[in-house]
Amino acid sequence: MSVTTLSTYHVAEPRAPFQVTRDRDRIAEAMAGLGVHFEHWTAGHALADGATPADVLTAYSQSVSRLKDARGYQSVDVVRMGPDHPDRVALRAKFLQEHVHDDDEARFFVEGAGAFYIRTPEHVYQLDAHAGDLIVLPKATTHWFDAGERPRFAAIRLFTTPDGWVARYTGDPIAVTFPPYDGFRPPEPETR
C-alpha cells in the first residue's frame, strides 16, 4: 500500500521538515485546520496503459457523481501522466510555479502519486498524495504541485465553473527553495 505523507516545513527552513506524519486522521486534521478537505477513498479500478480520460471517468463515474452532487461541481477532466508523457517537462514547470485559483482545486488521485505544497505565512505543507486520496483546496489557497521528473499519476479534477484549471501565478520563486517531489515508487511489500 502506498503511504500518504504530510511533511511540515517552516517557510524559512525549506530543507528539512520539522514534522512528518503518515497517519491519515492526523493529515485530515492538519488539512482541515487550513480549510483543506482531505480523505481517502478506494481507487480500485486498474487502468490500462492506453486508458483515455473517458475510460478513467467511466471507471470512476460513481465517485465523480457523488462529488458533483455533494460539492456542486459542474465540470470534470482527467490529468494522466507517465514518465514518457511528451509534455511532462512543460506541465511540471507550469504546476511548479506557486499559484492560486478562483475555484476550488479538487483532485481525486486514481493512480500513482504527486505532491501538493500548500503555503501559509509561516509554513509549507507538503502532502504526498497517492491513489485513493481526495484533496480539495479552497479557492485562493496558495500552493504548487509536483509529480517529479518521471511522473506517474492519474487524477480526476473537478471544478465549480466550466473554465477548468486556471491559475493566477504569485510570481514568488519559493517553490524552487523546497525539496522537489522525488517521484512515485511502487509500494514495498509489507513485512511482518
* Within a domain: 94: yes
* Within a domain: 141: yes
Q: How confident is the model at residue 55 (pLDDT cuts 50, 70, 90)?
A: very high
- Give percent of the chain above pLDDT 90: 73
**Number of domains into which the chain is organized:** 1
Q: What is the pLDDT of residues 110-130, one digit of tens each?
A: 999 999 999 999 999 999 999
Q: What is the pLDDT of residues 18-43, one digit of tens each?
A: 999 999 999 999 999 999 999 998 88
CB 14 within 8 A of CB 177: yes
Joined grid coordinates for residue 92: 511540471
* Within a domain: 183: no
Q: What is the pLDDT of residues 59-108, one digit of tens each?
A: 999 999 999 999 889 889 999 998 999 999 999 999 999 999 998 889 99
Q: Containing domain of residue 57, as a range? A: 5-177
What contacts 159, CB < 8 A, 6 or more positions away?
Answer: 73, 74, 75, 76, 103, 104, 106, 165
* Within a domain: 189: no
* Within a domain: 190: no
What burial class does residue 127 get, using C-beta atoms within 10 Å of its C-beta: 0-12 exposed, 13-18 middle, 19+ buried? buried
Domain holding 42: CATH number?
A: 2.60.120.10
* Within a domain: 30: yes
CA distance 2 to 10: 26
